[in-house]
Amino acid sequence: MSNLRSMTGFGIAEDSNNNISVKVEIRSLNGKFFECNLRTSKVFRDKETEIRQWALDKIVRGSVQINISAEFLNPALISSQLNINHSIAKSYKAQIDDLTQDLKITNPDIFEYLMQLPEVVKIEDLKTGEEDWLLVKSVMERAFSQFDTFRLQEGFALAQNLKENALIIKKHLQSIINIDADRKANIQSKLQKSIEELNEKVKADPARFEYELLYYLEKLDIGEEISRLDNHIRYFIETIEGEGSGKKLGFISQEMGREINTLGSKSNYFSMQKYVVEMKDTLEKIKEQVLNAL
């Protein structure tokens, strides 16, 4: 089974102790570098640097969204930290009463609005301990485990598509190999015909003609390009089935593209050009797919 991972992933986990309930959600999309958008409960804001480093070590690359929420479970603790500022509320109320009289507004329902005004209700920072932070880390690990399983599943489907497309290029390459002898014969026939027409006007040296013909055919020889492209395809599939590195697959696909382009420029044969076009089209699909490989 391939170790290739997709950069698209999702994982979620939650747990609680006697003090808090914690929920962690991780999402990611493909990205050239690691980018982390972290949203966390303010009671764990001092742990943001540690969380980001943990995410970088685990996720490595991609555009990542991490949400960490914490809910306190002890009503007595929450009540003890709740503070309603009576003097500010009374001051607001007095000014609102004056305003309603000036505007001749009767029976205004202001209580709900009053409780939302600045500084009326304040909740002091609730405290967490080491046990709570250990719970958060445990939930993060479980969310990541689900997230990584998702990436592996997506990566398996991605690996299958990449191998199928690589084999399509290999199939077209074999078709090129099969018609290469015809191509050379066609080029030689055209040259021979051109020389014969030229001989009617200017007498050509047969030895010189043979030398020029061999030189020209050597310039159009595609044996090295065929060999290198075949090796690149083999290495591409080995990488998918082995380490599954998206960056390495990207580099190999670039090398495949160079050889395909050279085949196209040197082939000088319509039947062969059709296969080159098909290989270029398939390679573009590969490059798009590789962008989502970790």
Residue 28: what are its φ and ψ, rounded to 5°? Answer: -150, 150
Question: pLDDT digits over 25-59, tens only?
Answer: 999 998 888 999 999 988 888 899 999 999 999 99
Parent domain of 18:
9-73+131-151
The larger pLDDT score, comparing residue 186 to residue 277, is at 277
Question: pLDDT digits over 155-182, tens only?
Answer: 999 999 999 999 999 999 999 999 988 8
Residues 110 and 49 grouped into a single domain: no
Measured CA to CA, the distance from residue 229 to residue 283 in angstroms comes to: 12
- Position 183 confidence tier, pLDDT thresholds 50, 70, 90: confident
Measured CA to CA, the distance from residue 171 to residue 275 in angstroms comes to: 9
Q: What percent of the chain has pLDDT over 70?
A: 78
* pLDDT of 75 above 70: no
- Look up residue 232 and give its two tokens: 């690149």
Q: What pLDDT does residue 10 have?
A: 96
Residues 220 and 183 grouped into a single domain: yes
What average pLDDT does range 94-98 have in this prediction?
77
Q: Mean pLDDT score of the chain, rounded to an integer?
A: 84
Residues 147 and 168 grouped into a single domain: no
> CB–CB of 19/43 below 8 Å?
no
Total domains, the chain:
3
∠ CA(186), CA(191), CA(194), 5° rounding?
Answer: 125
Answer whether residue 1 is part of any domain: no
* pLDDT of 70 above 90: no
Answer whether residue 126 is part of any domain: no
Measured CA to CA, the distance from residue 16 to residue 23 in angstroms comes to: 9
pTM of the predicted protein model: 0.72
What average pLDDT does range 127-146 have in this prediction?
90
Q: Report in angstroms the alpha-carbon separations of 85 from 66, 95, 113, 260.
A: 35, 16, 15, 75
- Name the helix (H) or strand (E) containing 66: strand 62-72
Residue with tokens 């996720």: 59
- Position 113 confidence tier, pLDDT thresholds 50, 70, 90: low
- Position 79 confidence tier, pLDDT thresholds 50, 70, 90: very low
Residues 31 and 146 grouped into a single domain: yes
- Gap between the terminal Cα atoms of the chain: 16
